[in-house]
Amino acid sequence: MSSSDASLHDHRFCSSLEDAGFQANGANGFHARAALLNAAFWGRGVRLRVAFMGGEIALQKRVEALAMAWPDETGANFGFDFWIGQGHDPTEADIRITFDGGLGSFSVLGRFAQTVDRTQRTMNLGWMTTDLPQADARAVVLHEFGHALGLVHEHMNPARPIDWNRDKVREDMRASQGWSDDKIDANMFRRYDRTEVFGTDVDPSSIMMYPIPPGWTRDGFTVGFNTILSAADKALIREAYGVRPVFGG
């Protein structure tokens, strides 16, 4: 096994679009705006209540500390209110998180969380533990909270269509993730029409971009494992949600 193949087998891929009931254009009301879906946009000034449906307090606090990079580093006009400890009913939260290790990691896209039964999760952080290395923990939390804000996977951005080696991608994803070909196709090869998108070019550094090893493309395009918000991630969220007002300045 090559070093890139070994790295691929160690990496676990989010399947948020497939798990959100991804269908053909418009079939479920999803319309893209840059890497942000119009229909998933919460609106400027929103404060999203985040609750946990399990997990020890230390793990919940670790998720909070990592997720807060989205509002803190972007200065965008939204916020997260984390409910940790006793005294909160998670059914009243906008984002409800579980830590089911058997299901991987995924999130409902943006305000489509409002369509989920309030007794059910809207996000699962199945790979998240208190012992997970910091870079890996930061990557999965920022990625899934990006979905919770309405962001889609960056490789679906049509600004730079990826010339996939589809047979190789399917072969590797079957082996490393256990996905069916239909799930692979929905999560890897689907992309939006240019008429549906707005804003940024494809950003290989985006936290929403999958790792892409060299053998997966026919033109040499490759992406490493992104673990922080890119400049384009921050700019997109500021453009979508606006800049947070500063009072008394």
Question: Mean pLDDT, to the nearest integer, of 52-77?
Answer: 97
What's the rounded Cα separation, in Å, for the pair 123 and 148?
A: 8
Least confident of 87-96, 195-204, 207-216, 220-229: 195-204
Neighbour-count burial for 69-99, b at 16+ CB within 10 Å, e otherwise: bbbeebebbbebebbeeeeeebeebbbbbbb
Please give the angle made by the CA atoms of 213, 214 and 220, to the nearest 5 degrees. 140
In the predicted model, is pLDDT for residue 17 greater than 50? no
In the predicted model, is pLDDT for residue 15 greater than 70? no
Residues in the chain: 249
In the predicted model, is pLDDT for residue 77 greater than 80? yes
In the predicted model, is pLDDT for residue 162 greater than 70? yes
In the predicted model, is pLDDT for residue 14 greater than 90? no
The distance of Cα 145 from the centroid of its chain, to the nearest Å, equals 6
Residue 208: how many other CB atoms lie within 10 Å = 26
Q: Average per-residue pLDDT in the chain?
A: 83
* Three-state DSSP string of 10-37: HCCCCCHHHHCCCCCCCCCCCCEECCEE
What's the rounded Cα separation, in Å, for the pair 61 and 206?
A: 24
What's the rounded Cα separation, in Å, for the pair 68 and 215?
A: 35
Question: pLDDT tens digit string along 106-133?
Answer: 999 899 999 999 999 999 999 899 999 9
Cα-Cα-Cα-Cα torsion 219, 14, 207, 150, nearest 10 degrees, comes to 110
Question: pLDDT tens digit string along 21-40?
Answer: 333 333 333 333 335 677 78
Question: Of all residues in the chain, what percent carry a pLDDT higher than 70?
Answer: 80
Say which residue, 230 or 192, is predicted with more confidence. 230
Question: Mean pLDDT, to the nearest integer, of 161-179?
Answer: 89
Question: Mean pLDDT, to the nearest integer, of 209-220?
Answer: 89
Largest CA distance in the chain: 59
Contacts for 29 with CB less than 8 Å, ≥ 6 apart: 39
Question: Mean pLDDT, to the nearest integer, of 29-56?
Answer: 76
Q: What share of the chain is helix, strand, coil (3-state, %, to 5)?
A: 40, 15, 50
* Residue 193: predicted pLDDT: 67
Q: What confidence category does residue 5 fall into, taking pLDDT thresholds of 50, 70 and 90?
A: very low
